[in-house]
Amino acid sequence: MTFYQRYLNGETKEVYDDISKLGKDAFLSNNINDIEQVLTETFERVAYNLNIIYKELVNIDYLFKTEFQFNFDRPLVNPLPNTDSLLKELDESVKPFGFVPLSLKMFYKIVGACNFGWDYDKNEDFIWECADPIQVISLDDLVSIATDEYALETFQEYYEDDGFISLELSPDYFHKDNISGGAPYSLQITSKQSIDSQFLYEEHNTTFIDYLRICFENCGFPRITNPENKNDYKAFFEKVKPQLKRI
């Protein structure tokens, strides 16, 4: 069976494990079309799941932001009309250091962006403490950061220190709860073309796609079940989890 057929048959994680083993061969003509079908299916499921979670959060009066200065403030953002041109700008901005993983590009083409953060400016009494609501910055805001007048210099400094650069996609869970925290969750730019890459500075030490998988296993809140925080999440899980698709 093809990767796509296996994915549809439920081997969601196994398929990505096998794709990862291909390395650069994933981009060979006899592989890439199949893999792109898998990615398309994955991110259509991501978009579906985000809409389900958003709807159920609205039903329980979750306090989303309602005043937006930038797209990254919005709970959900559909793919932007100029996504292709923005992705080209993003590619150019990181070209001296590597490649934007295909997973992120497909996220922006199919999903858009999301920010399920609580509006702590209006109410500091969080419904769930340190639950780490899913956030992925919108493409226009990411490109604005990656192409500003200081970006190349900043990238160069990180490259000299770490041997790679990354794109900041989300604040960490402390910042999401308005507590001084650590480095933003970031996607590593790879030295060669890649299907996916490491999602850095997030506690699960995994890839971007696997991080999204963890998010949906926890209904959009990867740390909500942490016993230290004593969050009352079971009723929400019982309502949401059966509706979500495996990625």
Looking at residue 181, its pLDDT comes to: 80
101: phi then psi, degrees, rounded to nearest 5: -60, 145
Looking at residue 180, its pLDDT comes to: 81
Closest residue by Cα to residue 67 from 139, 138, 115: 115
DSSP E strands in the chain: the ranges are 76-77, 113-115, 135-136, 166-170, 185-188, 198-200, 206-207
Which residues, listed in sequence order, are joined to residue 167 by a DSSP beta bridge? Answer: 187
Which long-range CB contacts under 8 A does 237-241 form with residues at least 24 apart? 239/56, 240/52, 240/53, 240/56
Closest residue by Cα to residue 12 from 213, 196, 214: 213
What radius of gyration do the chain's Cα atoms show? 18
Contact 208, 167 (CB under 8 A): no
Q: Which amino acid makes up residue 116?
A: F
With a cut of 50, list the residues of the chain below it in pLDDT.
Answer: none
197: phi then psi, degrees, rounded to nearest 5: -155, 180
- The pair of structure tokens assigned to 15 is 């398929």
Burial of 1 (0-12, 13-18, 19+ CB in 10 A): exposed
pTM: 0.96
Looking at residue 142, its pLDDT comes to: 98
CB atoms within 10 A of CB 227: 6
Q: Which amino acid makes up residue 224?
A: I
CB atoms within 10 A of CB 7: 26
pLDDT tens across 170-228, in order? 999 999 999 988 899 999 999 999 999 999 999 999 999 999 999 999 999 999 999 99
Residue with the two structure tokens 């991110």: 43
Q: Which amino acid makes up residue 57?
A: L
